[in-house]
Chain A
Amino acid sequence: MSTRTTMDGNTAAAYVAYRVNEVCAIFPITPSSTMAELADQWMAEGKQNIWGNIPVVQEMQSEGGAAGAVHGALQSGALTTTFTASQGLMLMLPNMYKIAGELTATVFHVAARSLATSALSIFGDHSDIMAVRTTGFALLSSASVQEAHDSALIAQMATLEARVPFVHFFDGFRTSHELNTLDLLSDAEIRSMIDDDLVRAHRARALNPEHPFIRGTAHNPDTYFQAREAVNPYYAAVPGIVERAMQRFGAMTGRHYSLFEYEGDPEAEYVLILMGSGAETARQTVTTLRAAGEKVGVLQVRLFRPFSVEHFLAALPDTVRRIAVLEQTKEVGATGEPLYQDVVTGLADAVARGHRTTLPLVIGGRYGISSKDFTPAMVKAAIGALKANAPRKDFTVGIDDDLSHTSLPIDPTFSIEDPSSTRAVFYGLGSDGTVGANKNSVKIIAEDAGLYAQGYFVYDSHKSGAQTISHLRFGRTAIKAPYLIATAGFVACHQFVFLQRQDLLHVASPGATFLLNAPYPAEEVWDHLPRPVQQAIIDKKLRFFVIDASAVARQVGLGMRTNTILQTCFFALSGVLPRDEAIAHIKEAIRKTYGRQGQIVIDKNFAAVDAALAHLHEVAVPGNASSAIAMPPLVPSNAPDFIKSVTARMFAGQGDAIPVSQMPADGTFPSGSSAYEKRNISDIVPEWRDDLCIQCGQCSFVCPHSVIRARYYHEDRLAAAPEGFKSAVINARGYPETRFSLQFYVEDCTGCGLCVEACPVTSPREPGVKAINMVDKLPILEREKASIDFFETLPVNDRARVDFANVRGVQFLQPLFEFPGACAGCGETPYLKLLSQLFGDRMQVANATGCSSIYGGNLPVTPWTKDQEGRGPAWSNSLFEDNAEFGLGFRLAADKHLELALKLLAELSDKVGPELAQAIAAAPQIEESDIRAQRIRVAELKTKLLALPGEAAAEDLLSVVDHLVRRSIWLVGGDGWAYDIGYGGLDHVLASGRNVNVLVLDTEVYSNTGGQASKATPLGAVAKFAAAGKRTARKDLALQAIAYGNVYVAQIAMGANAQQALEAFREAEAYEGPSLILAYSHCIAHGIDMRFGMKQQDMATASGYWPLFRFNPTMRTVGENPFRLDSPRPHVKLRDYAYKEVRYRSLAQTRPAEAEAVLAAAQRVVDEKYRQYEDLAARDGSRFNPGEEQSGAPA
């Protein structure tokens, strides 16, 4: 018995996959992670598969590892699956060839995603699928949430019979993350479709010492070829097997599928061929066009490999004259994309053999790359391209290609939306609960009220203050519209500030309802709207409603959470359900959602529902736009051209309109763009009390967003200071005329409050007042903006005169990592900022994929920036798994080019002056003053070289001359990289002895993909993939590295000892061999109030969980013990640290007895580990390898 419900594509696919497998080997990767998370969750909950067993779910260190484990489990006879996407699928490639080559039944479920090329993209297209089409896996495509559910089973049925492994794929995000109504298969239905004889046959093929055989042999030229051809009959049988499986499935469920599904005019002349969710859009569009009399059709490809020409030809009308094959991939240099090539080949062969009389003209088109929205207007444009007198050979649709002129013009007004459906678009913040409330509304409307519903959610790339756009459709018939809403009858803006940045009302249809959450009463709000907004309301005759939801939330005690209030307003205004019925449903949903939080929270939310209706007011719309408020410019007028012409359009939500010619072809973007995006995401910001401040530098040291800057300057400068600019006499002795200022860049502040907690000063007269206090931003904003402008005119303090050796001095160093979009209160970014302050002007960074590559390199803006001389960190991200090797490559090149530069310098010594050449070659470059001196010498050298035109050696030297300034190579990444996926490479790089510096931002989980366990995850902590708590201790990467003897190793926690962290950075950089720094980074995935992140770091160290130490091999040269334990003996119980974090506490709440045992074990691990470190620290220095003579890097 099927049940109608609502879920996303990932859940729909995993629901089946879990039930028909015994083993799942998993690794997180967007957008497939949810499937693996669910499998792990279900295992932890004891959910059974259709045979009554609980599948075993094993997290691996990488997708490569997952594929290996899958291969092994399959070879041992278990029904096995995995879930992945994109780069993950790439890492599975070698095993996929093996699994297919051995004719092994399995289904990999893939949320298809772009591959990283000049840039990474987490979004959906078929690049990854196309890259595995040669592996021998069958490729089965799903176009919707329902199909993802159904085809997961069809693929499993087919693979067991065919023995050919399957990739079952659906569009990343568009299908994997779309909520839609579907009919759920019952376990009995699933059970009835799986033939147990085939399962037993699968097991019978397994390796078994009771009747042994050998598989995985090596062949020679005499037999390998024949062995490859031996599989042909199996592949020939696949289409028939899949077809029969689809028929059996159809007979049971009434949902009929075919390998190639044609829909349209039986005598169509123009046909589109495509697969994936775009086929749904094409089908719906073609239906509309046919109603207008067009002879058009669409052929949806489900089974892409093996490509059955026979089935393809049978599905295609004989009348077709022109075909456009639309693909979500780009195969550079080919005659066309892969599906195009199959279609052309199949048709040409059919004509040549007389199976078809005419050869249609076939053109190829690219669409939907990286989740570019694919709309009915684009479908129409593609058909239009077919009808052209001389259709172009290939095209793109959905972009403006003004470079190669491939793009089709589209008619933005074309729409096929069902007029009876309700369409609503909501603009919110990630943190305001808008998306959660909308997901909840979808559930209410689909599951409680029995309508069909669809929800799709678009996020920007910032981790703090991210904007979300929710697209919701509701109707009485199934919603098959996998594209964004272009015209909505209900538009809600949940954050007033958005109105000043973007045109939100372009999506409102005439007469639509516009709900605004505004901090103004109904009678005043009109005057606060920017003029273009007023005009749009008037022009579109919108009904305009306003509520101060934030005030209501505060009033009922819900703090910042406006979700329930605004959800109530939506139901009250949209009419999607009768109001009373809707309110009853909302309250029931509240009871369900907040039940576990107790009556107090439920009561508050009930009060919010009631108060929402009382505070919702319609605004009388005047006849004329009267506002003097214009949309403020998104970037300052002095911003660079690229920022103004390209970046600013992304800020405005108009990135889709940026033409091809304006995009860098090779992925190169300017540094320092984050300074131009004044996001103003926090209403509260720190304010400085110059009278209380002791100028210690702690606040700027911990600031994750580099919004606290310090400068000292001569008091005469104050003559030009604006009113309200704050300044204090510097508290260093002997500089009475020198002033000190701390400036807070309030528009960039996220309001995390770490600075306030770090401030050691309390007022002697005012309770609770520190030298930094959080205050409302609005009243001080203009004053602070003027102060910032003035502050920036103050000279940047000379690095050569600043004492780097203490925290206080570091505040005067300019951060070359600023305003990242990281989470408010991020524990990682303070380390990166420090790194950039210390070495930024000569630093090259290899950044592993993860949080740090996203806040470090995700457009529209990036935080790595330049100093006033134009120098700054040169940053790049290669992949997740290869970062150590990538960074080592930096070093190898730098070493080679330094060697070359020195050789050329020696050759040119006479021409540039022997003294200069000698001074450059022999320069010490440890202290900042050394570096400054060397820079002056190199500048002089450049001048001299430029005066030698035509001299090849001089020109060669100029090309590598920058290497004469000591280059600092940093390999940065998270624990997922260092402990798991990149560990083999990291180990190798550390063992190489080369001078690279590795900074591990250790959050102890895969933070970027949502908190999955890594080998750094501590014993007893709950994480995804360790839903029942991790039962092994974290890997001691530090001790492993120390074992090499010649690796500098430091374990640091800024919040526990900032000075030690600073010293570790400097020592690591100065060390001529490999260095490894493990930096404790508190994280939202720990479940803490981020304001106390640094305090929690301190607790981690105080409890002995995270002891601080440094292992400096150079100490051996002076006969000292290289291992120094920098933190005192544990004086806090692990419990007192751990139970401040949700990740530990949640196990204690749900499985207290287990939690207690695990905590006791964890305490033992901590105690023993500390003893181990104490033993090391107490040793005689001679008891370390290598010996004194070998310490340090190889010569």
Chain B
Amino acid sequence: MSLTTQYLGLTLKNPLVASAAPPNAHLDHLRHLEDAGAAAVVLPSLFEEQIEAETALEAQIYDLHANNSPEATSYFPEPIAGPYGVGPDAYLDLVRRARAALSIPVIASLNGATDAGWTNYAQLLQQAGAQAIELNVALVPIDITLDGREVEERILHILASVRRVVNVPVAVKLGPFVSSLGHFAMRLVEAGADGLVLFNRLVQPDIDIVRLAFDTHMPLSRPEEMRLPLLWISLLAGRLKASLAASTGVDRADDVVKALLAGADVVMTSSAVLRYGPNCLSIWLDDLRAWMTARDFKDIAELRGLMSGQKLPNKELLGRPSYMKMLGDAVMPS
């Protein structure tokens, strides 16, 4: 039986990809993921503002006390430049070391803020050895004067800019809140996206009613959150010339099967890895094989997209009738 799948033009040994999460910044964790069966890893997002804010804060800390006293013109040695100079070096080095340490593909994730930031960092990531770049474009458009089209154009512009300067495949990780996601997905693919990751979870802060403060702690995703990506992957599978990755809410092997049935090329998870540890991946793979064996599937291609909108005999199932059926089935509270 073959679990091989194609994602962004890369051949993966199975459809399980460890999505971007903070522990992925550590080599030992990445090795653990590989050992547990992950077919690729996405490194945590390199945030342009974060890097620049950090370097700016550090520069401020350096500068604030520099040339302040006759006894000390500074309080730190000059930073010793690494292979990429001094800046996003640690991240780039992580890419390089992850490539050296792992035999599975390493995908870098980038979240830029300026045009120059997107393109510069994308080039650096490619130079550092990233086999693909995932553009993390999901931001809350807090500027309420922007209309939806402007927000979309901005993302398309970023994608096109990055596409121009790198050769490696580029995926776009989207949030679900777009007026016409299907149309936008189509435009992204036209603009050069090799794949779409559905979806990114937006930061949704809670409010602490004692301290009267926002709590930005991000809870792990819950299984029921998988329904939205499942819907959209079903709708888009087979209709775009791009890979599709299901992300958010994947919690069990069954969810992997569901995503594949809907048409995902790969299934991404980080919450489950955080919740259960990397070994959950190997269990899922076993379960996936067992499920396929029981149904005599020989490879992933056979089952992928069986439940996609394209392949279902009754396409309307995913449209209004489906909605009505779900409403009808809902158990009303007594």
Cβ B61 vs Cβ A1153 within 8 A: no
Cβ B65 vs Cβ A459 within 8 A: no
A594: CB under 8 A from chain B? yes
CB neighbours of B27 from chain A (8 A): 1156
CB neighbours of A559 from chain B (8 A): 60
A1151–B78 CA distance with the chains assembled, in angstroms: 13
B88 to chain A, nearest CB (A): 8
Output the nearest chain B residue to A433 by Cβ-Cβ distance: B63
Residue in B64, B71, B85 with the greatest tally of chain A CB atoms within 10 Å: B71
CB neighbours of A601 from chain B (8 A): 52, 55-56, 59
Output the nearest chain A residue to B113 by Cβ-Cβ distance: A600
CB neighbours of A994 from chain B (8 A): none
Judged by DSSP, the binding face of A is mixed
Residue in B67, B76, B97, B120 whose CB lies within 8 Å of A1087: B76
A82–B212 CA distance with the chains assembled, in angstroms: 58
B299: CB under 8 A from chain A? no
Pick out which of these stretches binds chain B: A39-47, A150-158, A446-454. Answer: A39-47
CB neighbours of B81 from chain A (8 A): 1150
A255 to chain B, nearest CB (A): 28
With contacts A597-B56, A599-B117, A600-B113 taken as known, whether A1149 is within 8 angstroms of B71 at the C-beta atoms is no
A44–B120 CA distance with the chains assembled, in angstroms: 28
CB neighbours of B65 from chain A (8 A): 430-431, 823, 1084
Cβ B68 vs Cβ A1151 within 8 A: no
A31–B58 CA distance with the chains assembled, in angstroms: 26
B174 to chain A, nearest CB (A): 25
Cβ A459 vs Cβ B69 within 8 A: yes
Residues 39-78 of A, flagged 1 when their CB comes within 8 A of B and 0 if not, give: 0110011000000000000000000000000000000000
CB neighbours of B58 from chain A (8 A): 1087, 1142, 1145-1146
Residues 178-211 of B, flagged 1 when their CB comes within 8 A of A and 0 if not, give: 0000000000000000000000000000000001
A1009–B86 CA distance with the chains assembled, in angstroms: 25
CB neighbours of A33 from chain B (8 A): 71-72
A123–B71 CA distance with the chains assembled, in angstroms: 10
CB neighbours of A823 from chain B (8 A): 65
Output the nearest chain B residue to A1027 by Cβ-Cβ distance: B77
Cβ A599 vs Cβ B78 within 8 A: no
With contacts A1084-B65, A1149-B89 taken as known, whether A1024 is within 8 angstroms of B76 at the C-beta atoms is yes
Cβ A1010 vs Cβ B75 within 8 A: yes
CB neighbours of B77 from chain A (8 A): 37, 40-41, 44, 1022-1024, 1026-1027
Cβ B52 vs Cβ A1153 within 8 A: no
Residues 107-121 of B, flagged 1 when their CB comes within 8 A of A and 0 if not, give: 000000110110010
Cβ A1142 vs Cβ B52 within 8 A: no
A1175: CB under 8 A from chain B? no
Residues 461-472 of A, flagged 1 when their CB comes within 8 A of B and 0 if not, give: 101001010000
Residue in A599, A767, A1011, A1156 whose CB lies within 8 Å of B116: A599
User: Among residues 72 to 100 in chain B, which have CB atoms less than 8 Å away from a CB atom of chain A?
Assistant: 72-82, 85-87, 89-90, 93-94, 97
A173–B85 CA distance with the chains assembled, in angstroms: 32
The range of chain B's interface size is: 35 or more
Output the nearest chain B residue to A173 by Cβ-Cβ distance: B70
Residue in A764, A767, A1142 with the greatest tally of chain B CB atoms within 10 Å: A1142
B213: CB under 8 A from chain A? yes
Cβ A463 vs Cβ B213 within 8 A: no
B57: CB under 8 A from chain A? yes
Cβ A430 vs Cβ B76 within 8 A: no
Cβ B52 vs Cβ A1027 within 8 A: no
A134: CB under 8 A from chain B? no
Residues 24-66 of B, flagged 1 when their CB comes within 8 A of A and 0 if not, give: 0011000000000000000000001101100111111111111
Output the nearest chain A residue to B27 by Cβ-Cβ distance: A1156
A439–B70 CA distance with the chains assembled, in angstroms: 14
With contacts A598-B51, A600-B49 taken as known, whether A459 is within 8 angstroms of B76 at the C-beta atoms is no
User: Among residues 1132 to 1155 in chain A, which have CB atoms less than 8 Å away from a CB atom of chain B?
Assistant: 1142-1143, 1145-1146, 1148-1153
A34–B77 CA distance with the chains assembled, in angstroms: 10
CB neighbours of A1153 from chain B (8 A): 93, 97
Output the nearest chain B residue to A172 by Cβ-Cβ distance: B70
Residue in A430, A458, A1152 whose CB lies within 8 Å of B90: A1152
CB neighbours of A1148 from chain B (8 A): 90
A594–B114 CA distance with the chains assembled, in angstroms: 16
A854–B60 CA distance with the chains assembled, in angstroms: 24
Cβ A1152 vs Cβ B97 within 8 A: yes
With contacts A459-B69, A561-B63, A1146-B76 taken as known, whether A596 is within 8 angstroms of B82 at the C-beta atoms is no
Cβ A436 vs Cβ B80 within 8 A: no
A535 to chain B, nearest CB (A): 32
A829: CB under 8 A from chain B? no
A921: CB under 8 A from chain B? no
Residue in B49, B55, B73, B85 whose CB lies within 8 Å of A34: B73
Chain A interfacial residues counted at CB < 8 A:
74
Output the nearest chain A residue to B207 by Cβ-Cβ distance: A767
CB neighbours of B57 from chain A (8 A): 1089
B211 to chain A, nearest CB (A): 6
A30: CB under 8 A from chain B? yes
Residues 1016-1037 of A, flagged 1 when their CB comes within 8 A of B and 0 if not, give: 0000001110111000000000
CB neighbours of A434 from chain B (8 A): 67
A1010–B68 CA distance with the chains assembled, in angstroms: 10
Residue in A430, A762, A854, A1023 whose CB lies within 8 Å of B212: A762
With contacts A767-B213, A1011-B75, A1023-B77 taken as known, whether A1151 is within 8 angstroms of B48 at the C-beta atoms is no
A603–B66 CA distance with the chains assembled, in angstroms: 22
With contacts A600-B114, A768-B212, A1142-B62 taken as known, whether A122 is within 8 angstroms of B56 at the C-beta atoms is no
A1088–B76 CA distance with the chains assembled, in angstroms: 12
Cβ A1151 vs Cβ B80 within 8 A: yes
A113 to chain B, nearest CB (A): 11
With contacts A431-B68, A767-B213 taken as known, whether A600 is within 8 angstroms of B82 at the C-beta atoms is no
Cβ B80 vs Cβ A1152 within 8 A: no
Cβ A600 vs Cβ B52 within 8 A: yes
CB neighbours of B72 from chain A (8 A): 30, 33, 1008-1011
A444: CB under 8 A from chain B? no
User: Among residues 993 to 1023 in chain A, which have CB atoms less than 8 Å away from a CB atom of chain B?
Assistant: 1007-1011, 1022-1023
A1161 to chain B, nearest CB (A): 14
User: Among residues 279 to 297 in chain B, which have CB atoms less than 8 Å away from a CB atom of chain A?
Assistant: none
Cβ A1010 vs Cβ B73 within 8 A: yes
User: Among residues 1064 to 1106 in chain A, which have CB atoms less than 8 Å away from a CB atom of chain B?
Assistant: 1084-1085, 1087-1089
A731 to chain B, nearest CB (A): 21
Cβ A436 vs Cβ B63 within 8 A: yes
Residues 7-38 of A, flagged 1 when their CB comes within 8 A of B and 0 if not, give: 00000000000000000000000110110010
Cβ A1152 vs Cβ B89 within 8 A: yes
User: Among residues 410 to 468 in chain A, which have CB atoms less than 8 Å away from a CB atom of chain B?
Assistant: 430-431, 433-436, 439, 457-459, 461, 463, 466, 468
Cβ A1150 vs Cβ B80 within 8 A: yes
A31–B86 CA distance with the chains assembled, in angstroms: 29
Cβ B67 vs Cβ A762 within 8 A: no
A179 to chain B, nearest CB (A): 11
A746–B86 CA distance with the chains assembled, in angstroms: 40
Cβ B67 vs Cβ A30 within 8 A: no
User: Among residues 554 to 608 in chain A, which have CB atoms less than 8 Å away from a CB atom of chain B?
Assistant: 559, 561, 594-601, 603
- 11 further contact pairs, Cβ within 8 A, besides A598-B117, A600-B114: A34-B73, A37-B77, A45-B80, A122-B71, A597-B56, A601-B59, A768-B212, A1010-B73, A1027-B78, A1089-B57, A1152-B90
B residues whose Cβ falls under 8 Å from a Cβ of A: 26-27, 48-49, 51-52, 55-82, 85-87, 89-90, 93-94, 97, 113-114, 116-117, 120, 211-213
26 A-B residue pairs with Cβ-Cβ distance under 8 Å, sorted by A, are: A30-B70, A33-B71, A430-B67, A433-B63, A463-B68, A466-B68, A468-B67, A595-B85, A599-B114, A601-B56, A601-B59, A603-B114, A768-B212, A1008-B72, A1010-B72, A1010-B74, A1011-B72, A1011-B74, A1023-B77, A1027-B77, A1027-B80, A1087-B58, A1087-B61, A1087-B76, A1150-B86, A1150-B89
